[in-house]
Amino acid sequence: MESRATVRGFGYWSGIDVCVEFRPAPPDSGIVFVRHDLASPVRIPALVANRIETPRRTSLSKDGATIEMVEHILAALAGLGIDNCEVWVDQTEMPGCDGSSQQFVDALQVAGLVAQDALRQQLIVRQVTRLGDSEYWIEAQPSQDGTTTIRYRLDYAAATPAIGRQTAEFSLDREVFCRELASCRTFMLDQEAKWLLSQGFGQRVQPSDVLVFDQEGPIENELRYEDECVRHKILDIVGDLSLAGCRIVGKIVAHRSGHRLNAELVKALLNEAVEMEPRRLSA
């Protein structure tokens, strides 16, 4: 990054206002969140070892401090190829914005991207690794051309025909991410949204902030892509895979996978890299 970038908004779950400031960082720093609102600021590296389980989102914790719903920020950074950045935040939950990574991408691009004097770390998938069961699974395969490709199969046919079954695949680079994935928004079913509201969550969220589907389609909203839902799932995977702390080179194929299973794959790939060929983590 050439300069700092700021994004303001409110958390979907808590409704609390939050300010996120992206700051340039030296080579080999990685992505580090900084909770500067605490009496003593806490640094939380964006690594799968710091991930904690929370429903419907990716959260991190270290030294008693927590940050929630980081996946869209992580996707923006990874999609733009930003390896080193400090993300200073003043609340637990990150801003939901419009449910996509677009606002973060826009701010980061305005700040400017710059190449650093260091090799980029990569984890190269050497063998097939599959996790899950017959209903929900994710698999990493070796890449045939040195790219990172993600293929996702979404199945909401039993829930609503408005979403149905969708499949999408993208070979990722900065241009593809910005054009095809960054603006794809979080989605949920009408009954899920009503339940969350009944539990006190999402009180500030408007229909324009997230895609809520009934049997006919999105409520008081319009799709940006016919298959926006499956594209958003790929966006989530981009963010979750970045918890490896380096770029993963391989083909990822997923069927109804979510944040937990995505993170389990990252752990498995890191373990295999250490056990089989430590040099894989080098650029």
Write the single-letter amino acid at 243: L
Write the single-letter amino acid at 94: M
C-alpha–C-alpha distance, residues 22 and 88, integer Å: 6
- The helix (H) or strand (E) run that includes residue 243 is none
The per-residue DSSP string of 25-76 comes to: --TT--EEEEETTSSS-EEEE--GGGEEEETTEEEEEETTEEEB--HHHHHH
Around 145, how many Cα atoms within 13 Å sit in the side-chain half-sphere?
A: 5
- The helix (H) or strand (E) run that includes residue 88 is strand 85-89
Question: If you search the block for the tokens 């983590």, which residue do you land on?
Answer: 281
Around 240, how many Cα atoms within 13 Å sit in the side-chain half-sphere?
A: 27
Residue (of 113, 80, 95) closest to 21 by Cα position? 95
Residue 109: CB partners within 8 Å, gap ≥ 6?
A: 80
Catalytic residue among 72, 232, 255, 259: 259
C-alpha–C-alpha distance, residues 188 and 10, integer Å: 19
- The helix (H) or strand (E) run that includes residue 105 is helix 102-111
| Known active-site residue 232 | no
Dihedral of CA atoms 126, 246, 48, 18 in degrees, nearest 10, equals -150
- Residues with a known catalytic role: 259
